[in-house]
Amino acid sequence: MRDQQNRNVSPFDLWSGSMMANSARDPYWRAAVSAEVAATPSQKSHIEEICSRCHTPMAAPIPSSPEGQVLAFLNEDHPKSKLGLDGVSCTVCHQISSENLGTDESFTGGFVLNTERAIYGPHADPVTMPMQRHVNYTPQRGDHILTSAMCATCHTVITHSYDENGRQTDAILHEQVPYLEWRNSIFNDEVTTNAATARSCQDCHMPTTDVDGQVISTRLAHNPGGRDFPFLRDRQPFGRHSFAGGNVFMTKLIRDNRTKLGIATPVDAFESAIKETQKMLRTQTAQIAIDCVTSDNGETLAVVSITNLSGHKFPTAYPSRRAWIELIVTDDKGSIAFASGRSNSKGQLIGDDGHVIDSDIAAGPVQQHYHRITDSKQVQIYETLMADEDGKPTFALLRGSEFLKDNRLLPKGWAENHADAESTRPIGIASDIDFTAGADKVAYQLSLPPGRYKISARLMFQSLSNRYMAELFEVDTPEVRTFKTMYDSADCVPEEIAVATCHAIKD
């Protein structure tokens, strides 16, 4: 399949470099599962099952691994390994039925696959012969394939908390809920009357336009030799199955270690996925601006504003993700007069002395949400931090009873009186009146001598925060050791989302 400029838009080719295709081979996922088992060994079978529902769905039901092993069914000699290692493949999403979609029962991998070998798509009256003859599936129209509720089956994860003895507590954690965040936003298209801003998950992550914004129209099947069937016509919509999100880091790491991971996907497929993901991060996630710079009582005040462009919180999903503001003030000689949020080549946040700040190490202090920053060691980090039943910070999902902090940027239109407000509300922002639906403002109070200055503000992003990694690497399992070897040689420079600059004069 090709777009109007003859560029390849075949679903398999675009999918193969995505995190969806590599969900089972993802070395970080395997390390995280092994760390969860190490923390709560009595729940080993439960952890493997709940973590594999969406990462290895074609291997379901998931067989339990022998004692001392994790995810053993993904070993090459296991009869389920080939299906499991194919990740989230075509015949998972396209076989999901409309049953229970959008309900609590459908979340955390609660999707229901049809048993009639039906393949759902958005097109009326599909020609069934090519698919029936070659793969024994019958294509049929299923409008639910274009709904956000279908994506929510795996991208809404709600977990029960367990104590250190493996006993289930009363706490339930909304670990990652972009669908619920989206429902409480101006992007929700499930309401009676859609706003002009309404967008589904697929509208952004599987666009029906090419990279130039032109609508894609193409035939949906070719014969095994690659020629067109004369009885088929061009169809639309046709979604680009690139599944761009925000995970540049892991896509690069998997690309660089594809031989070790047993991945045959060519480098070009990963390069295309990385390019699409970086484009999404820089054009569809958030904006930054320096609203004003004023002087009062000898102090300079710079106000930085962040606007969320996405249809959910930013950053969203897995709790390892974070975004932060890097603010650097330089004098007319280029020397740094003030800096907050600088990072080194390993993605670690550093202070004026170049050393990693305490909040970026395992079990370090938590950076609070700031309304005003007065010190270089204070960094405005938009993130979630979990706590166990005793209120202590934890990175282990099954220990998570609540969030100590969730100051991620709300989507536009988020409302206190919405049905999903309680499970998506911010935590730890105190009485910050500048933290609103879709935006936040942070004031930087600067003590500067007289002179001319350049103020630069950047919004930075990591899919795997350094603090999260530091805590994971304290766990000693074969999977963690394997991942750490790859991580230590990876490009850990964080992604730049947006940048703003201005000049100021201090009299």
24-57 confidence digits (pLDDT tens)? 999 999 999 999 999 999 999 999 999 999 999 9
What is the pLDDT confidence band of residue 317, given thresholds at 50, 70 and 90?
very high
* pLDDT value of residue 322: 98
pLDDT at 64: 85
Query: Span 380-392, mean pLDDT?
Result: 96
Q: What is the pLDDT of residue 35?
A: 97
92 shares a domain with 81: no
In a domain, 6, yes or no: no
pLDDT for 98: 97
Mean pLDDT of 70-85: 94
Same domain, 260 and 384: no
Could you give the number of structural domains in the chain? 3
pLDDT single digits (tens) 201-211: 999 999 999 99
Task: Judge if 276 and 300 occupy the same domain.
Answer: no
pLDDT score for 246:
96
Final residue of a structural domain among 228, 261, 281: 281
Of 64 and 321, the one with more pLDDT: 321
- Both ends of the chain: CA-CA distance in Å? 63
Instruction: For 89-126, write each residue's pLDDT tens digit.
Output: 999 999 999 999 999 999 999 999 999 999 999 999 99
Does residue 350 lie within any of the structural domains? yes
**Residues 72 and 150 occupy one common structural domain:** no
Tell me, yes or no, whether 448 lies in a domain.
yes
Do 30 and 93 belong to one domain? Answer: no
Q: Which domain holds residue 430?
A: 285-506
Do 129 and 211 share a domain, yes or no? yes
Say how far apart CA 114 and CA 97 lie, in whole Å. Answer: 6
Q: How far apart are CA 216 and CA 145, in angstroms?
A: 18
Does residue 231 sit in the same domain as residue 207? yes
pLDDT at 221: 87
Q: Please report the pLDDT score of residue 163 as a whole number.
A: 93
Q: Which of 29-43, 222-236, 381-395 has the lowest mean pLDDT?
A: 222-236
**Residue 222 has what pLDDT?**
86
Residue 144 domain-assigned?
yes
Residue % of the chain over a pLDDT of 70: 100
Residue 461 has a pLDDT of 98
Residue 182 and residue 257 in one domain: yes
Distance from CA of residue 435 to its chain's centroid? 22
At residue 125, the pLDDT reads: 92
How does residue 68 score in pLDDT terms, banded at 50, 70 and 90?
confident
Instruction: Identify whether 472 is part of a domain.
Output: yes
DSSP state, residue 124: S
Judged by DSSP in three states, 386 sits in strand
Helices 478-488 and 248-256: crossing angle in degrees, nearest 10, is 100
Last residue of some domain: 264, 281, 298?
A: 281
Would 390 be classed as within a structural domain? Answer: yes
3-state DSSP call for residue 316?
coil
One domain, residues 76 and 215: no
At 381 the pLDDT is 98
CB 39 within 8 A of CB 46: no
Q: What is the pLDDT of residues 154-186, one digit of tens each?
A: 999 999 999 989 999 999 999 999 999 999 999
223 with 138, same domain: the answer is yes
448 & 477 share domain: yes
Task: Quote the pLDDT of residue 9.
Answer: 94
Do residues 303 and 442 touch, judged by C-beta distance below 8 A?
A: yes
pLDDT, tens only, 390-446: 999 999 999 999 999 999 999 999 999 999 999 999 999 988 999 999 999 999 999
Q: Is 200 exposed, middle or buried (0-12, 13-18, 19+ CB in 10 A)?
A: buried
Show which of 86, 102, 134 is a domain's final residue.
Answer: 86
Q: 52 and 198 share a domain?
A: no
**Domain membership flag for residue 4:** no
pLDDT the model gives residue 297:
78
pLDDT bin (cut points 50, 70, 90) of residue 223 is: confident
Contact indicator for 411, 310 with CB cutoff of 8 Å: yes
pLDDT at 117: 95
pLDDT attached to residue 96? 98
Name the pTM for this structure.
0.96
Q: Using one digit for the tens of pLDDT, what is the confidence trace for 456-476?
A: 999 999 999 999 999 999 999
pLDDT score for 226:
82
pLDDT at 296 over 80: no
Q: Calculate mean pLDDT across residues 282-294.
A: 95
Within a domain: 145: yes
